Structures are given as structure tokens and as C-alpha cells.
Copies of this chain bind each other. A is one copy, B any other.
């Protein structure tokens, strides 16, 4: 690890959406320097062919992604398909800060891993959601960090305060709208522009999405006991952004003021999580390209439910920005270093 002001970063999976976003953010980071880009299938090509927006890095050559190719960096970011990180990470130096944007090290329960992903459980790493109580302590000085999934980031930040404060029953219903970049860059017919523009669709309905056990894990920790999660993701015609609409039955006696207080208190000192003023509702545009989260909370007395809506950019706070935020903490840097606070709107 360098003792100077700058740490070198290698990114593998740099030709995908998550890896590309890591590179974009590193272009503006005062202490982290993109030192190499890696990917399996595109090795040997110019990065500019594959990521035309990364103009300052256009002439970098994409290198292979084997563990030996990734040695020598202070920080390695793994932005690979699920199941590919664990084997690589196991061969990287324990002194290297390794940040996994994939799912391999998120789930603590081997049975949950086996059920939802299959194969051997690689073990959980410190979970890169610093806004959870006590989490910054676990991330400080860490050399292995598991970046949360994009949906779990939004849903956990939306519901954890209410569950922790005992305002609602542990029975959460989530319907989340996601931009298409969450589905990745592999060309599949249903992700063509012609298919997604002008259309909203549901997928993974009835509990089929792999982010569900991760939400159950984070929300269960907040509630101090098991939480049921009904999760339906939908695909909407935009590239980036998640709007998570979450609700749960109110416990007797919870009122709107109490609910608002719980959120105001939970996020009072957070740089990236904004509880909006009453009456203003989150939009994904307001956080586009930023590491921020916009949250609003309401009580529906007729239906007897607490409704919380959170907006994040799935690639920024939901993946790459969250990764860098945790890296900042692990390296002892200011938590906000290099992270945009303002969305690109309109």
C-alpha cells in the first residue's frame, strides 16, 4: 500500500457498465488513480472502443483479468459477473484492498447462497453500506469489501430506519423500477432499445430475484429478527436509476410525525442520504450520476401502512459510487472524496 497521497486502482470488468462507472468516478477522484483496466473478452482492445464516454482513458489497452494480471495495484475493483470474483480474490494479496461489486461475498448465510446462487459459499466480507449502524467501523481499514446490490442499497436505506425503530411489522412489500443498465451490457433481445423504450415490464415476479435474500438479510439485521420481503422489480425506459416503493403494515400507534422523526434522525449526519422536505417526492433524475439517495416517507392511515420511496442511481450509489465511498473509508480518506453530490438533471 502506498504511503503517499495517491493509490493506484485496477478495475476488472472495466468494459461493462459497473466497471465503466468506477472508471468515470476515478477520473474525478483526488486520491485514487485509475492505473489499469481489465476484462476477459475484450483484452487487447482500446478502452475507447468499448466505453466511448471515457475519453481521458480512451487509449488505455484492456488487459486480461487473471489474478496475476491484477497484482501490483493498491486497490482492485472487481466488476465481474456473479461467481467470478471469489476465485480471483482468493489469489490477491491480503494487503490489497479488494472491492467486489458482485454478489459473491454479500450473503452471510451459506444456505441462502446455496439456494439463490448455488455452488460453494465463499464467505461474507464487510458489507459496503456505511449508512447502516456500526458499519463504518467494520469498513475502516478493511481490505475486503462486498458492495451491496443496487436494489438492496435502495430498499435497505428506505426501510431499515422504520424496522429498527419498531414502527412497522416485519412484512415488507417492495416494487422497484429500474433503468436498463442494471441488466448489464450483454446484448439480449428483450433489452434492445426498440423493446424497452415506451414500455414498462415486470420480471422476477413472485420472489424470483436474487437480491431478495440480501434485502432479507439487511432488513432482518435492522429489525432484529426475520423480515418477510415481497420484491417485484420492473424495467422502465431509462438507462439509469432505481425508484424503490416500499411499504409495511404500521404497528399500532405509529403516526406520521414519529415516522418522519425516525428517518430524520437516522440520516441527520449522512452526506449522501437526503430525507426530502414534506410534500416533495424522490425522482431518479435528481440523483443521476450522483452518489446521493433521495428518501421520503408517508403514513397511509386508511391502508394502515408506512410507505417509503427511495431514489438512487443504480450505477453510482447503487454500485460504483458505493464502492468508492467504502474504499474511501477503508483507506482513511474523506468519505465523500471524488463522489458527485449533485445529479445531472434535467
Q: Residues of A with Cβ closer than 8 Å to B?
A: 17, 20, 23-24, 27-28, 46, 48-49, 51-56, 58, 171, 173, 175, 177, 179-181, 183, 185, 187-189, 191-203, 205-207, 212, 228-232, 234, 236-241, 243, 245, 247, 274, 276-277, 280-290, 292, 294, 296, 298-305, 307, 309, 311, 340-346
Contacts and interface: CB of A to CB of B under 8 A. Distances in A.
A237 B234 contact: no
A56 B341 CA distance: 7
Given A194-B239, A200-B284, A302 B228 contact: yes
Contacts of A289: 289, 344
B285 A53 contact: yes
A341 B239 contact: no
Contact of A274 (B20, B55, B311): B55
B175 A185 contact: no
6 contacts: A55-B294, A177-B177, A181-B194, A193-B195, A236-B237, A239-B346
B202 A281 contact: yes
A283 B194 contact: no
Given A24-B342, A280-B48, A228 B54 contact: no
Contacts of A27: 340-342
B185 A192 contact: yes
- The 7 A-B pairs of least Cβ separation, nearest first, read A206-B298, A199-B285, A193-B196, A175-B175, A230-B303, A207-B300, A53-B345
Contacts of A277: 46, 48-49
Contacts of A200: 177, 236, 238, 241, 243, 283-284, 311
Given A53-B290, A205-B296, 16 more contacts: A27-B342, A48-B280, A175-B245, A194-B239, A197-B197, A198-B284, A200-B284, A200-B311, A201-B281, A205-B281, A206-B300, A207-B302, A229-B303, A231-B303, A232-B247, A240-B346
Q: How many copies of the polypeptide does the oligomer hold?
A: 4
B205 A309 contact: yes
Nearest to A172: B303
A319 to B, nearest CB: 13
Contacts of A195: 193, 239, 285, 346
Contact of A300 (B56, B230, B241): B230
A209 to B, nearest CB: 11
Contact of A285 (B198, B285, B300, B309): B198
A56 B287 CA distance: 12
Given A56-B342, A247-B173, A198 B201 contact: no
Nearest to A301: B207
Nearest to A302: B207
Contact of A232 (B51, B180, B245): B245
A54 B237 contact: no
Contacts of A189: 185, 187
Contacts of A55: 274, 286, 290, 292, 294, 341-343
